[in-house]
Amino acid sequence: MPTYNEAGNLPGMADALLALPLAGLRLLVVDDSSPDGTGEIAEDCARRHQEMSGRRRMSVLHRTEKDGLGRAYAAGMAKAVEGGARYVLQMDADGSHPVEKVPELLGVALATDAGVVVGSRYVQGGTLSDAWGAHRKLLSRWANAYAGTILGTRVRDITGGFNLWRADAVHAVDLRSVDSAGYSFQVETKYRALRHGFDVMEVPIHFEDRTVGESKMSLMVQLESVVMPWKLRVRAARGSRGGPGPGPSASGPGPSA
């Protein structure tokens, strides 16, 4: 779970996640030196949960600078699989992703051969917060259609950030060579997984708007999101870094109930 200035959101998110009835669940927070003290709050949460349970269920990876959401995710996912995690969950700290859906994502991963299970806003049954205006909803749908069309994938929420990964799929995408620094990390890593022959399945979720804090999508991040699908397509055509394996159209939308 990457954080930057999420002091108002993190304690509640940590409590909700660690209350889930999932054996072996551990939370790793990746904080980019948040000036609002999120890193220190995360350490306090980790100590509190250790005192409550008698074991360490939460840890914090402190990074020295704000280096982009994608690089924060890469650092956290790499640390999780190095620590022996069989599954790695990506989710935001702002309350947008429904914690109660985590067991369902894990259940789909356990019951299928999916390398990635996406909590999807855009498969049948998926919904968006009413707090999102029409322009924002249209932009989000356009971004998914744009990336999906360029890359030739049927994943309907390829930009989504609520994803459960199998450890072998994480290894296959080679996080060290991922170029995306921002939100296009989600597109690049899913596409790499598809190129390596992993199925990407989707489970419908309700996506809620954050209630505390502000969104952090800069102009440079938006520009990267526009350019990255074309870079990935060119690399795949040249057979470089997209990896071998069947084309991205091998994946369907997955469960929709």
In a domain, 202, yes or no: yes
- Residue type at position 214: E
- The beta strands (E) that lie in the chain are given as 2-3, 27-31, 58-62, 87-90, 114-120, 127-128, 163-166, 199-204, 206-207
191 in the same domain as 157: yes
- The beta strands (E) that lie in 53-198 are given as 58-62, 87-90, 114-120, 127-128, 163-166
How high is the pLDDT of residue 47?
97
Q: Are 70 and 178 in contact (CB under 8 A)?
A: yes
How high is the pLDDT of residue 15?
97
220 in the same domain as 112: yes
Cα separations in angstroms, 121 against 38, 91, 158: 28, 14, 10
Rounded-to-integer distance, Cα 112 and Cα 224, Å: 33
Please provide the distance, in angstroms rounded to a whole number, between the alpha carbons at the two ends of the chain: 26
105 in the same domain as 27: no
Helix (H, G, I), strand (E, B) or coil at 254: coil
Q: Which domain holds residue 57?
A: 1-66
* Per-residue pLDDT tens digits of the chain, which is 257 residues long: 999 999 999 999 999 999 999 999 999 999 999 999 999 999 999 999 999 999 999 999 999 988 889 999 999 999 999 999 999 999 999 999 999 999 999 999 999 999 999 999 999 999 999 888 898 899 899 999 999 999 999 999 999 999 999 999 999 999 999 999 888 999 999 999 999 999 999 999 999 987 665 655 667 777 888 999 999 999 988 875 444 344 443 344 343 32
Reference 96, options 136, 61, 60; nearest CA is 136
105 in the same domain as 4: no
246 in the same domain as 135: yes
b/e code 72-91 from CB counts within 10 Å (16+ = b): bbbbbbbebbeeebebbbbb
Q: What angle do CA 159, 238, 71 make, to 5 degrees?
A: 35
110 in the same domain as 42: no
Considering 33, 66, 99, which residue would you say is the last residue of a domain? 66
In a domain, 82, yes or no: no
Number of domains in the chain: 2
Q: Which two tokens stand for residue 200?
A: 């990407």
128 in the same domain as 57: no
